Amino acid sequence: SAGVINPMVKLQGTDEDRVDNVAKELVIMHALMDPQSKRKNVQLNLEAIYPILIGKPRDASDNLYPDTGNFYSDGSSQAVVSGILVEKVSPPINSSVKNFLRRQGMHVSRESAALTTTVASSISSLLGLDCARLWEHGDLPEEDLSEESYLWRMVQRDPPLPAMDLNQLRRLKAEMRHLVPKIHEVVDRVHADKLQGGGGLARRGSSA
């Protein structure tokens, strides 16, 4: 989402970078994708990566309201398309990731792609995977989410940017529920591949 990507625009690949948690997760993802990564001499591999792309909430005047927007056409991907994410490694983020992995007993080689991946390429590689597109669906059943629900109270207490109303939150819940069978398809495909001796990381999932 734009809320995930846009804060990374501030990263400049210098010692003054703040430690962005999403950027850390992407570096950790690359570390787990590295076939040389080990934990106590046991090789580690992610079984599957299936990112979920989420666009911006649509305005109430939009014909498709309250559906979420198209990540690729509503401006959510602008930072990626315009090339303003820095093509440099962020030292504070790498240092934080190395400390985290060390605490988990995980060894990552100095030459690992995880430690040489730039801020821009970490996002590009994520979007290069087969991603679920939350906005691609037909009619969805209404979700029961009351004004007294814990989720709605949390949204009111800490509003997202851009803001969401209750109808949009209900639709977001429905859209996420709609993805569940597709997520199971990805997991089933990975397990089938392992049984057939594929053994490697299934980096491309079911098309959403």
Q: Is 80 helix (H, G, I), strand (E, B) or coil?
A: helix
Record the tokens describing residue 65, joined without a space.
């309201």
Q: In the chain, count H helices and then E strands.
A: 7, 5
pTM of the model: 0.81
Interval 67-113: pLDDT, tens: 999 999 999 999 999 999 999 999 999 999 888 888 888 777 666 76
Helix (H, G, I), strand (E, B) or coil at 76: coil
Q: What is the pLDDT along the chain (208 residues), one digit of tens a residue?
A: 998 999 999 999 999 999 999 999 998 888 877 766 666 555 556 677 889 999 999 999 999 999 999 999 999 999 999 999 999 999 999 999 888 888 888 777 666 767 788 999 989 988 988 899 999 999 999 999 999 999 999 999 999 888 899 999 999 999 999 999 999 998 898 888 878 765 544 444 333 3
Question: What is the structure's pLDDT at 194?
Answer: 76
Here the tokens at position 130 are 């087969």
What would the pLDDT profile of 183-196 be if each residue is shown by its tens digit? Answer: 999 889 888 887 87
The pLDDT score that the predictor gives to residue 191 is: 83
In this structure, are strands 52-53 and 132-133 parallel, antiparallel, or unpaired? parallel
Backbone angles phi, psi at 92, to 5 degrees: -60, -35
CB neighbourhood size of 124 (10 A) = 14
Instruction: Report the pLDDT value the prediction gives residue 38, as an integer from 0 to 100.
Output: 62
